[in-house]
Chains A and B, each alone.
Chain A
Amino acid sequence: MGDVLTAVGVLVGLGAILALILVMAERKLVHSGPVRLTINDADPVEVPGGEPLLSVLRERKIFVPSACGGRGSCGLCKVTVRSGGGPVLPTEIPHLSPEEIEERVRLACQVKVRGDTAIEIPAHLLEVEEYEVRVEAIEELTYDIRRLRLAFGPGVAFRFRAGQYVQIETPIYDGLGEPVYRAYSISSPPQGTGAIELIIRKVPRGICTTYVHELLLVGDRLTLNGPYGEFYLRDTPAEAVFIGGGSGLAPFESMLADMAERGIRKKVTLFFGAVARRDLYDLERFAAHEKAVPGFRFVPALSDPAPDDGWDGETGLITEVVGRSYGDMAGMEAYLCGSPGMIDACVRVLTAKGVAEDSIFYDKF
């Protein structure tokens, strides 16, 4: 009996010693105290250790775009980690090209700041801020597309370039565990700094769009951050094609209104791809832009018009319509906004027609 008790005692003691070693090793190896974070070669700042880099940056009011709330699913929150950050995780691999891995690009949501870390982020992200806005108006554009008008607080001037986007925070609803962020292009021109408009299509079972379409009311308050993106009209004399589908007309509405306001002269044709007439919207706005913007032409096209649509305009997939509208497109620019599938299909057609890859612009979020 005594031997058994001794053996149990020894085992318990060994277990306690092992646990102690593990705790000490964790404290030594997994830094959870303050660490130093260097951003773009500025002076290091002290931040709490052990937190995801995306959260650390957000706490410092530096908003790196992230459309999935840090779940590693959207791949938007890419930053360059010059030192620290540990090895690339399996959850990051699907989002990173071999070149990006070579250049130490990481997903900020997956990198834990466990020790002194140095990162680089695009300078314009340092200008991104968080705002509280009030829903001023909701307009039904089609059966599944809404326009929101969001007003900033008194004295707040939100400045952006036509074509950029913001991220809306969807509050917790229906028992979902935490807020999520989704990116939406601004459809209003940058000259109106007190409010912005967004065009949002309902995604089947989407987290944010279900909230916007089924729960959001005029007068509600939302949190957003922005502006983001490099999708803006280049200041060149090149002829341009804009191609959008669904809610993808939003940035083009902003660009065209901006062109009208600033008297920008550029030959532009906007191709609006939709399935049937019920998917078209804002036709009167684009007709007005055709009068206000010299050199602008609007081409809506239906891929599958309903028998009673009475449609006598362009028909076919938007890629087919663009393809037959031009011969050689060398020297032209293209601006795309839509689903990844639409963008990929358009890039294939445009490059085959001679548009240089670095003259094709899109935000593939």
Chain B
Amino acid sequence: MKQPPLLARAQARMAPGALTRDGFLGADPRDLVEILQADDGAVRRLGLTHEAIGGAMARLTDAALERLGATARVGGFAVSAVEAMGQLPCPFGHAGLYPKAEVRARRTRDGAERAWTALHVHLVRDHGFYQGRGSPYRIEPADLAGFLGLGPAAD
């Protein structure tokens, strides 16, 4: 599929140094539209929605942010956030600003850990964007859903 201009502009804002040091695309050679389509297909095959995955991330993220750096314990997870000064806009041009925060989640039953950012939650939930392959915060949709205990992929 040909990439629409709106997504081309978003892809430009995802380059390293544009909004964040590492950007959002890693070494992924695909156009943004291809990344979105592939991940959308993966989520559909799991019988899930981006809203459900993003919603589960948001619950953990909100709990972590409320604790101002201390650990929060939420439904089988221990989560904490490192929040810096400043805020970030959405690279898709969506209205709103998001905390500059890295969230670290540990599943207490097996010690599995994942990290994402506050902006990442919005990108997943509202744009179905899980970042490009090689991006520091890329989490494969199936892996993320499994980690969060969602749908048939839950392990």
Contacts and interface: CB of A to CB of B under 8 A. Distances in A.
Nearest to A317: B68
Given A176-B16, A176-B21, A341-B101, A203 B84 contact: yes
Contacts of B102: 204-205
B27 to A, nearest CB: 13
Contacts of B71: 304
Given A91-B93, A340-B99, A365 B85 contact: yes
B136 A205 contact: yes
B83 interface: yes
Nearest to B96: A94
A75 B100 CA distance: 14
A338 to B, nearest CB: 7
A178 B69 contact: no
A210 interface: yes
Interface stretch (A66-74, A132-140, A145-153, A228-236): A66-74
Interface of B: 15-22, 65-71, 82-89, 93, 95-97, 99-102, 136
Contacts of A178: 17
Given A303-B67, A319-B68, A339-B99, A73 B19 contact: yes
Please name the 4 residue pairs, one residue from A and one from B, whose CB atoms are nearest each other, closest first. A176-B17, A303-B70, A339-B83, A304-B70
A273 B68 contact: yes
A90 B6 CA distance: 13
A337 to B, nearest CB: 9
Interface in A310-365: 317-319, 338-342, 345, 364-365
A316 to B, nearest CB: 9
A98 interface: no
Nearest to A365: B85
B20 A207 contact: yes
A180 B19 CA distance: 10
Contacts of B66: 345
A175 interface: yes
A274 B82 CA distance: 12
Interface string A152-192: 00000000000000000000001111101011000000000
B89 A339 contact: no
A303 B71 CA distance: 9
A246 B101 CA distance: 14
A315 to B, nearest CB: 10
Given A204-B102, A341-B83, A345-B66, 14 more contacts: A73-B87, A94-B89, A94-B96, A95-B97, A175-B17, A204-B82, A245-B69, A246-B69, A274-B69, A304-B70, A317-B67, A340-B83, A340-B86, A364-B85
A94 B68 contact: no
Contact of B21 (A91, A206, A319, A339): A206
A177 B84 CA distance: 23
